[in-house]
A and B are shown apart, each in its own frame.
Chain A
Amino acid sequence: MALEPNRPAISAVALVKNFGKTRALDGFDLEVAPGTVLGLLGPNGAGKTTAVRIFTTLLEPDSGHAEVAGLDCVRDAHRLRTQIGLAGQYAAVDELLTGRENLEMVGRLYRLTRARARERAIELLEQFGLADAANRTARTYSGGMRRRLDLAASLIVTPPVLFLDEPTTGLDPRSRLSMWDLIEKLRDGGTTLLLTTQYLEEADFLADRIAVIDHGRTIAVGTADELKRQVGGERIELTLARGSDLDAAAAALVPHVDGSVRIEAETRRLSAAAEGGARRLADVVRDFDAGGISIEDLAVRRPTLDDVFLTLTGHGAEETGEAEEAA
């Protein structure tokens, strides 16, 4: 079944999902156009995985409406499963089966014939650089190989819509790059992709559009550039030698930056959005010298997920997370 060009490939309207007293999704909205890649960006516990699990029919929402490929995620769940692939952060492969057996099993559960499932498994192993490891059990695979096998399993029938839940979390840099490469190829092949991630640069690199989710709601949607513009592009960040200078320093910084100055008293750090930050630094340093404020460290940097969160929500990404790394 081909996706209808004028209908969103993935849509969610006012999804709510509670787990006991925890509200994982709290009126979550989303729309993804066919053939595009959406990066769902948010800290741990923001509701990303819950949303993916609803779209892939693993969970039913308490209220609201979710649709994938024009099919209702609750009512048409069975038909919907023929249209989607899912690969997750917990690579769901059978440790005691070989790479080839894993793919053959999934192929046959997609109701391919035995011969076709075998053919397809061999194709995918080749394509994902696992041909040499095809006859080894998956428990001998590295983390990166497992993820690739998991991703390959989700592509057995080349589904029109693919969900990747934190596909690179916990991977070493080399495996991450090879995963990015695979995802780009899928994107170029016209698959509609929803990708969750905690990493801004990942969403930036892979996604056409980014939706930022926090406390179970979509708080911003746009291209990476649009979001960064909201955050204020480059930022000046400086650390003072003495904590007693904080207020004077903040006042001295205001004329040189865009918007408000963020003050972190414990670390004696000030930061603020400043487009073209490098050119403005000289002026900042001159004013600080004139005011007798000594600077310990000074930098211009690109906005991070933390900045996006601070700007959009007023709190850092880490505070909402469940004690894992956030950005």
Chain B
Amino acid sequence: MNTDVQRHGWLYWQLSDAIVLTERALRHIPRNPELLIFSTIQPVMFVLLFRYVFGGAIKLPPGVSYVNYLMAGVFVQTVAFGSFTTGVGMAQDLQTGLIDRFRSLPMSRAAVLLGRTLSDLVRNTFTVGVMLAVGLLVGFNPQGGAAEIAGAIALLLLMSFAFSWVGATVGLAVRNVEAVQSAGFIWLFPLTFASSAFVPTSGMPAGLRAFANNQPITHIINAVRDWSLGVPVGSNGWLAAVWCVGIIVVFVPLSVRVYRRAALK
């Protein structure tokens, strides 16, 4: 039986394979409603807890309401934690032998990773939408114009895609579903909490503040926040974009490498 390999070029098939696997992972979403529900409830819970429990206790620059401050942090944190799912998905595919099936097929190697990261981008878009709605219900009132809001959303999606590749790399390196979840907590908790997500970094001890001010999550949060508050974004915008692109440039080839090695075991 003939396949259509000869009729199209290399790039066409890279994309075609990626689309097939993106479709596959998207089909999973409604069939695993527990995952979707919990991965949506968690950020909604964060919005509500921080808004109402800490909201009154946290000192902010005058004129900024805590809910307006908080939302950027919760958006970014949620997107960062979304990379868990990518890692868990990769580890699952390794454990169930599906990766072996894929590797025995005359298909693109990168497509297995691209399918996951693209479908997780779709899922994250949905989650961010839900959170935005909840935020608006509890008083979130973005001040930025359409261009700024679009910039903030574009940055969140870019970050979602970048962090998914980190998640995929971790998932393939760790290989075990439960361990991937624990590993995710270990690198994501410090990264998201030692940042400007929930409190201004000015109140942190010097060493921690230096870390928090210069790590990617803070730049991304600050950019999203400035855009949503409608204040000048300064260097945060391009620093955040550079970080995201940098993560993609490093982790795409790295995860493909780890994929090759992981599958060879």
Interface residues of A, Cβ cutoff 8 Å to B: 19, 53, 56-60, 78-79, 81-82, 84-86, 88, 90-97, 101, 105-106, 108-113, 137, 153, 157-158
Contact = CB atoms under 8 A, between A and B. Distances in A.
B264 A94 contact: no
B150 interface: no
Given A57-B104, A59-B264, 18 more contacts: A58-B264, A79-B106, A81-B104, A81-B107, A82-B3, A82-B5, A85-B104, A86-B104, A88-B100, A92-B97, A92-B98, A93-B98, A97-B28, A109-B102, A109-B105, A110-B3, A111-B5, A111-B107
A96 B93 CA distance: 12
A81 B107 CA distance: 9
Nearest to A84: B104
B264 A153 contact: no
A58 B263 contact: yes
A53 B104 CA distance: 9
Nearest to A108: B20
Given A90-B97, A94-B24, A112-B4, A57 B103 contact: yes
Contacts of A59: 264
Contacts, number: 82
Given A111-B3, A111-B4, A112-B3, A96 B28 contact: yes
A126 B106 CA distance: 25
15 contacts: A58-B100, A81-B106, A84-B104, A85-B104, A86-B101, A90-B96, A91-B97, A94-B24, A94-B98, A96-B27, A105-B23, A109-B20, A109-B21, A111-B5, A111-B16
A109 B100 contact: no
A113 B28 contact: no
B1 A157 contact: yes
B193 interface: no
Q: Most chain-B CB neighbours within 10 Å: which of A81, A84, A97, A108? A: A108
B243 interface: no
A111 B13 contact: yes
Contacts of A78: 106
Contact of B106 (A94, A101, A111, A153): A111
Interface string B1-37: 1011100000001001100110110011001100000
B193 to A, nearest CB: 33
Contacts of A137: 31
Give the interface SS of chain A, mostly helix, strand, loop or mixed. Answer: loop
Contacts of B1: 157-158
Contact of B105 (A19, A101, A110): A110
Contacts of A106: 101, 105
Contacts of B101: 86, 92, 106, 153
Contact of B20 (A19, A82, A105): A105
B256 to A, nearest CB: 15
A79 B265 CA distance: 22
Interface string B93-135: 0001110111111110000000000000000000000000000
A109 B4 CA distance: 11
B4 A113 contact: yes
Nearest to B27: A97
A105 B100 contact: no
Nearest to A159: B1
B98 A157 contact: no
Contacts of A113: 4
B264 A60 contact: yes
Contacts of B264: 58-60
A19 to B, nearest CB: 8
B44 to A, nearest CB: 25
Contacts of A105: 20-21, 23-24
A82 B106 contact: yes
Interface in B20-70: 20-21, 23-24, 27-28, 31-32
Contacts of A94: 24, 98
Given A96-B32, A109-B17, A157-B1, A58 B104 contact: yes
A110 B106 contact: yes
Nearest to B106: A81
A106 to B, nearest CB: 7
A276 to B, nearest CB: 47
**Shortest 6 CB-CB contacts between residues of A and residues of B:** A92-B97, A92-B101, A81-B106, A90-B97, A111-B3, A86-B104
Nearest to B107: A109
A160 B24 CA distance: 28
B96 to A, nearest CB: 7
Contacts of A84: 104
A220 B243 CA distance: 59
B104 A95 contact: no
A79 B3 CA distance: 12
A106 B16 CA distance: 13
Contacts of B5: 82, 111
Contacts of A109: 17, 20-21, 102, 105, 107
A86 B54 CA distance: 56
Contacts of B23: 105
B86 to A, nearest CB: 16
A53 B5 CA distance: 24
B3 A157 contact: yes
B105 A81 contact: yes
Nearest to A137: B31
B144 to A, nearest CB: 39
Q: Most chain-A CB neighbours within 10 Å: which of B16, B23, B98? A: B98
